[in-house]
Amino acid sequence: MDDNHFITSTAGRGLSRRRLLRIAGTATAAAASVPLLQACGFGGQAGTSGDSAANAVTGSFDWKKHKGKTVRLLMNKHPYTDALKAHRKEFEEKTGITLAIDEFPESNYFDKLTLELRSRQGNYDAFMLGAYMVWQYGPPGYLEDLQPWIDNTSATAAEFEPDDFFPNLLTAGQWNFENGAPLGGDQQWMLPWGFETNTVCYRKDVFDKLGLRPAETFDELIETADAITKKASSAGFGDMYGIAVRGSKEWATIHPGFMTMYARMGLTDFELADGKLIPMMNSPEAVEFTDKWAKMVADSGPAGWTSYTWYQASSDLGAGNAAMLFDADIAAYFQNEDTPAAGKLAWHPGPKGPDGSLDTNMWIWSLGMNAASENKEAAWWFLQWATSKEHLQYAATKKQHIDAVRTSVAGSPEYKDRLSKATNFVETFEEVMPQTAIQFTPQTNFFDATTSWAAALQQIYNGSDASGTLDKLANDLEGRVNG
């Protein structure tokens, strides 16, 4: 969300973005290739607008300027790609540009993308990527800075209106490539296309019968999950457990519910001191939180939790095996039809931090331009259309772009009407959106570090001492992230 993502009913009606989150080996391999390339002399720095091919574009903007050209796209098999294909005729008629789309399954998409970018051949002009991938693909110079294109009125239609994007989604695609530096700045390495925030979805019928209410604190969440696990069977809900969260030894286990609650508790993954990243997941407060999280899952989670990905966790909610899911909001959204839980689900922001924080981590599917493309102008014509109000309104109301990246789409009556059947989905989205952002510290070893973090979480779940396990993790990571 994945993180994220298309979750269908337990009958398995579709595709999913987040299956890629099940394949840490693929994602980690993609990530690991970048430091290797840097060691071989392929490292790059953030460019300046003066270097941009966008500066060659002059005159008045014309959608037909690149009529007859072909833009080559490398895409993940995903509902966002399906929406694009369903709407491509409108783009091709509007511009005269032909789209050549190559799709690959999520299980090997990032392998394919990494090989393409490493080759610097420019075989594809644009592609899908996530915010964390900017931290891998940006430093070697694989990504075109899109800000000069946005700023050039000769290259960008007046109706594009970048200020219409939720600002935290734009910021997620900005970074200066310095480990530990916050997101933001003058370079825009990707444009948001679709995303997921992380919230709690729960069975309202179970809560009503057991006299429960959605938890407002982390301790209440633990207590609620425990009460459901102990009482569900006698209340007629069968062998239902309290809460579903991810647990596999993959980076994706850390970023949805776990990182969201971690951030709300005021905790950070790293701190920057004297130019070095200092791991903070072994602070006393982080140890206490992690120990509680692992115990919550052990007492009120599923059997076999250490193999749980987004798919198992969300499917358990839909099948009636779990009463709560703390994960991507749309992971639950697609369990609200054609499943035993359909029509019984409701959304809630989830527990607040001690200071009332609703800091929430997110996953973004974005579009980027290949810095090696020799067809950048036509590629930019595509990128601005694919992230335009026109296309995203269509995708959000007619297809499966559920969490809207533009404020105009999220506020439209048609969008809200479509989502109104999902109890409190829109209200929850609107409540957490102002504090939804990338909660991790940007750094090039992100995938390696978070996969190791997930392994440590598994060890604590299996009975290892939380303090000692996290001390070892922190000691191991310090050298790796600063290497």
pLDDT tens-digit map of 398-411: 999 999 999 999 99
Instruction: For the chain, give the mean pLDDT.
Output: 90
Spell out the SS3 assignment of 51-103: HCHHHHCCCCCCCCCCCCCEEEEEEECCHHHHHHHHHHHHHHHHHCCEEEEEE
Both tokens of residue 75? Answer: 């895409």
Both tokens of residue 346? Answer: 């409701």
How many other CB atoms are found less than 10 A from the CB of residue 463? Answer: 8
> What DSSP designation does 405 have?
S
Q: What is the mean pLDDT of residues 50-71?
A: 95
Q: Is the dihedral of CA 34, 37, 38, 42 positive or negative?
A: negative
pTM for this entry: 0.89
pLDDT tens string 202-238: 999 999 999 999 999 999 999 999 999 999 999 999 9
**Residue appearing with tokens 């798919």:** 311
Distance CA(229)–CA(170), nearest Å, equals 41
Q: What is the DSSP string of 302-352?
A: -TTGGG--HHHHHHHHHHTSEEEEEEEHHHHHTTSSSSTTTT-EEEE----
pLDDT at position 50 is 66
Q: What is the mean pLDDT of residues 365-383?
A: 98
pLDDT at position 428 is 98
Q: What is the mean pLDDT of residues 146-152?
A: 98
> What DSSP designation does 133 have?
H
Q: What is the mean pLDDT of residues 103-128?
A: 95
pLDDT at position 389 is 98
pLDDT at position 116 is 97
SS3 assignment, position 156: coil
Please, how many CA atoms are within 13 Å of residue 451, restricted to the half-sphere of its CB?
Answer: 18
Q: Tell me: pLDDT of 24 over 80.
A: no
Both tokens of residue 148? Answer: 């000069």
Whether 131 contacts 174, CB under 8 Å = no
At residue 356 the predicted structure's pLDDT band, cuts being 50, 70 and 90, is very high
Whether 142 contacts 159, CB under 8 Å = no
Distance CA(120)–CA(116), nearest Å, equals 7
